[in-house]
Amino acid sequence: MTATVLVVDDIEPNRRLLQAKLEAKYYTVFLADNGEGAIASALRHQPDIILLDVMMPGMDGFEVCQRLKAMPETQHIPIVMVTALVNIEDRLKGLQAGADDFLSKPVDDFGLFTRLDTQMRFNMVANELRVRGKQNARVTQFSDYEKELIEAPSNVLVIDQDNAEARRVAEALKATGHRAQTWVDASGGSIEFRDLDLVIVALSNQKHDPLKLCAHLRTLKEARDFSIMVTYDPRDQSRALEALRIGAADLVSTPLEIAELQVRVRTQTRRQRYIDVLRHRVDRGMELSVIDPLTGLFNRRHMLEKMQSWMHRARAGSKPLSVVAFDIDHFKSINDQFGHGAGDDVLQAFSDRLRMNIRPKDIACRIGGEEFLVIMPETEMNLALAGAERIREAIASEPFTNERTSNPIDVTVSAGVATHQGEAEVLADFLHRADQALYRAKQNGRNRIENRAA
C-alpha cells in the first residue's frame, strides 16, 4: 500500500533520510523545511499523510498541526508527529493540537512503515465515508454531541497471559480516565464485546496463539465496533506484521512505555469513533434520502424509483401491479381547528395505522402533505380494492387521540385504485389514473374507495 507523504523537518539530513526510505518503498514524497512551507504544501498537494517534526524554529509542529486541523481543506489529512519528546504532557499537547499518531526519534523502518500502513488503512475508510457523506449532502462539521462522543473515554479489554502485566496496563489506562479490565478479571462475568472500544492483545510469550485469537475476534459480529491493538516483542516483528494483516489496527512494542500506550489508546479510540460518526452520518444520510422524516414512510423519491422497478417486473413477468392513492379528508380543517402540531400528530398516527394494515410486500409512501400512496406488487384490481377498503375501515373505525386536544379527532380517508395496464403505459399515466380515481372518491362524498380502469 503506497501513498503521498509530506515530510516536514527543518533539518535537511532528516528530511532526506525519510525521503530516501519512503521513495525506496514507492511512496511519493513532498518536502517542507518550516511551518509556513508545510501549510502551503499541504494545501497545494493534498498529501495522504503528513510526517511532522515537532521541534522547529518559528512555528513549531504543534502550531502547524493546529492550523492544518483548523482548515477544511486539510483537516482530514492524518498527521504523524515525529518527536524526541517522551513526556506524556507533550504528547497530549500534540493530541490536543489534532495529531493522529506519534513516531519517536530516531525513527526505525519498522515503526515508520507500520505507522504509515495503519494510517493509510484508516484514511482509505475515512475518505470513502467522507465522499459518500458528501453525496448524501451531509454537513462536514461535527456537532457538539459528535465531538463529545469522539473524545469520550475508551472501554478497553486487556488480554495477556501474564495477568499482573495486564492489570498494570489496565490500571494505567484507568489513571487517564478510560474503563479497562483484564481477560482474567472479566472471565468471572460475561464480556459484552459490543460495549468495547478497544481490545489489547499481547502477542509474545503466550501459551495460546494470539494471532488465532485476533482472527477469531475479527469474525465476531461486534468486531466492527472495536479496534484491536497488539503489543509485541521487537523480535516478533514478522508475527506483528501478520497481526496487521489479520486486522489489528495498531502495534506497540514491549517493554511497554506506559506514557506511549496511554497516548496510543486515546489516539486509536478517537480514530475509531471518528469512523463510527462518519459511518452513522452516511447511514443516516442514505436513510433520509428515501424516508419521510415525519412519518417514517418512504418518500416520493423512493416511491418513483420503486414504481419504475415494479412496472419493469410486471412487464417482464406478465404479473399485475396496483397502486392506491390516499388523501386524508378535510385535513386543512384539522390544522385550522387544532393547530399544525396536532395535524402532524394525525399524520404520524395515520401512517402507523397504514403500516399495520398493509401486507409485508406492500410499499407505503408519503408523497406530500396529507397524500399517501401504497404500491401493491403482484396484485390485481379486486385484491387492491379489498386492501384499500381494509385501510379505509381501519382509519375510520376509531378516532385519533391527541395529547394536544381534549377530544379525539375523527379522521377519514378517500382512496383511488389503479392497476397497471401493461407495456404501453408509462409511469406518469399510471399515477394519473390513480389520482383521477381519488378525485372521483372525493367528488362522490369522501371516505370511500374508487377505481378508474382507463
Residues annotated as catalytic (active site), given as ranges: 370
Q: By CB neighbour count within 10 A (0-12 exposed, 13-18 middle, 19+ buried), where does 58 fall?
A: exposed
Q: Give the whole-angstrom CA distance, residue 399 versus residue 407.
A: 9
Q: Give the whole-angstrom CA distance, residue 323 versus residue 381.
A: 9
CB 450 within 8 A of CB 434: no
Please state at what angle helix 258-288 crosses helix 109-135, rounded to 10 degrees.
Answer: 20
Q: Give the whole-angstrom CA distance, residue 20 versus residue 29.
A: 9
| Cell numbers at 404, concatenated | 394536544
Q: Give the whole-angstrom CA distance, residue 14 versus residue 352.
A: 66
Beta strands 413-419 and 321-328, pairing class:
antiparallel
Most distant CA pair in the chain: distance in Å?
A: 89
Least Cα distance to 275 among 224, 228, 230, 229 occurs for 224
Place of cell 480516565: 177
Q: Give the whole-angstrom CA distance, residue 400 versus residue 397.
A: 10
Whole-Å CA distances, 17 to 26, 102, 346: 14, 18, 70
